[in-house]
């Protein structure tokens, strides 16, 4: 078997908690002179307010988050640079322009960053908010970029409506268990899963945050969650293993939820339909 060849590589700070964000660019944005994808991750040295954008094809990078002479979070706003805390979670997405125009629709590149401002040269801070009492542990954004959810060491799960203009509406939802290390949103945006430090996975409606059930398997903290995608990753490619599955089996697989814990275990769950959570 031939070993895969290395296409790109980047140095990262292995001690940083924040995971990188990857944004494949659509064909109407990417071109021969522009990148095919963007990667955002914290700076190697300073993990507090600096974000690096990496153009995969052209190796171009830009620093975001370097405050100027009047830092937003500094105790002395006239000198020095502000400290907003270590970046815990980031997400890149393209926001379609809502302006009425006869020209073709355009997209704005936006960086959603938890626990820090993204103000920097050439970048505009759209909004900042603080609604958690403790450190933010995870963030999940709906597939259509309509809203984001965050979990923390506290009892709160917060929802942010990602509006085009102005500050987004933030709704705070208190749950029974503190210490939630990860969160995932199903592709239809109706159901979310929250992984706790106690190893349990709790399901909620993203609209009302009504509890939908608790999944118990992991002995220690649940560190990662992902829902099955609603569409195949590769259209037109037939998997030989699919021949052994009928339509019911395929529908069940579409409702899978996969979790990973600190106990070095993976769990695969077939969830209910939850058509009207």
Q: What is the pLDDT of residue 120?
A: 45
Q: Domain with 162 in it: what CATH number?
A: 2.130.10.10
Q: What is the pLDDT of residue 104?
A: 42
Residue 72 in domain: no
Q: What is the pLDDT of residue 50?
A: 57
Same domain as 43, residue 98: yes
**DSSP code of 233?**
S
Residue 208 in domain: yes
Same domain as 148, residue 30: no
**Total domains present in the chain:** 2
Profile the chain (277 residues) by mean pLDDT over runs of 10 residues: 81 81 74 70 70 60 53 41 69 65 46 49 70 90 93 93 76 93 94 96 95 95 91 53 67 88 94 77
Same domain as 213, residue 120: no
Domain span at residue 32?
11-66+84-125
State phi, psi for 5 to the nearest 5 degrees. Answer: -85, 145
List Cα–Cα distances, 193 to 14, 68, 189, 269, in angstroms: 26, 39, 11, 12
Same domain as 104, residue 24: yes
CB 272 within 8 A of CB 255: yes
Q: What is the pLDDT of residue 263?
A: 94
Handedness of CA 54, 182, 258, 173 (dihedral sign): negative
Same domain as 24, residue 44: yes
Q: What is the pLDDT of residue 74?
A: 38
Same domain as 188, residue 54: no
Q: What is the pLDDT of residue 77?
A: 39
Residue 227 in domain: yes
Q: What is the pLDDT of residue 54?
A: 64
Residue 234 in domain: yes
Q: What is the pLDDT of residue 239?
A: 56
CB 202 within 8 A of CB 210: no
Same domain as 185, residue 102: no
Same domain as 226, residue 138: yes
């Amino acid at each position: 078997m031939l070993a895969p060849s290395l296409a790109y590589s980047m140095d990262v700070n292995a001690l940083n908690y924040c995971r990188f964000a990857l944004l494949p660019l659509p064909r109407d944005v990417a071109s021969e002179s522009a990148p095919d994808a963007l990667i955002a991750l914290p700076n190697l040295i300073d993990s507090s307010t600096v974000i690096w954008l990496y153009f995969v094809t052209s190796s171009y990078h830009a620093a975001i988050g370097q405050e100027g002479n009047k830092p937003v979070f500094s105790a002395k706003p006239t000198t020095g640079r502000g400290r907003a805390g270590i970046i815990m979670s980031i997400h890149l997405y393209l926001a379609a322009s809502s302006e009425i125009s006869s020209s073709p629709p355009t997209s704005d590149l936006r960086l959603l960053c938890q626990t820090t401002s993204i103000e920097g040269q050439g970048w505009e801070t759209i909004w900042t908010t603080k609604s958690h009492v403790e450190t933010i542990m995870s963030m999940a954004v709906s597939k259509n970029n309509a809203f984001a959810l965050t979990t923390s060491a506290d009892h709160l799960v917060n929802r942010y409506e990602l509006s085009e203009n102005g500050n987004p509406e933030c709704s705070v939802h208190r749950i029974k268990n503190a210490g939630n290390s990860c969160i995932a949103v199903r592709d239809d945006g109706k159901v979310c899963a929250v992984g706790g430090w106690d190893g349990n996975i709790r399901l909620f409606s993203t609209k009302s945050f009504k509890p939908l059930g608790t999944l118990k398997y992991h002995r220690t903290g649940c560190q990662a969650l992902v829902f099955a995608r609603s569409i195949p990753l590769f259209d037109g490619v037939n998997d030989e293993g699919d021949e052994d599955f009928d339509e019911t089996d395929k529908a069940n697989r579409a409702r899978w939820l996969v979790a990973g814990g600190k106990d070095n275990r993976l769990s695969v769950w077939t969830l209910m339909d939850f058509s009207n959570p």
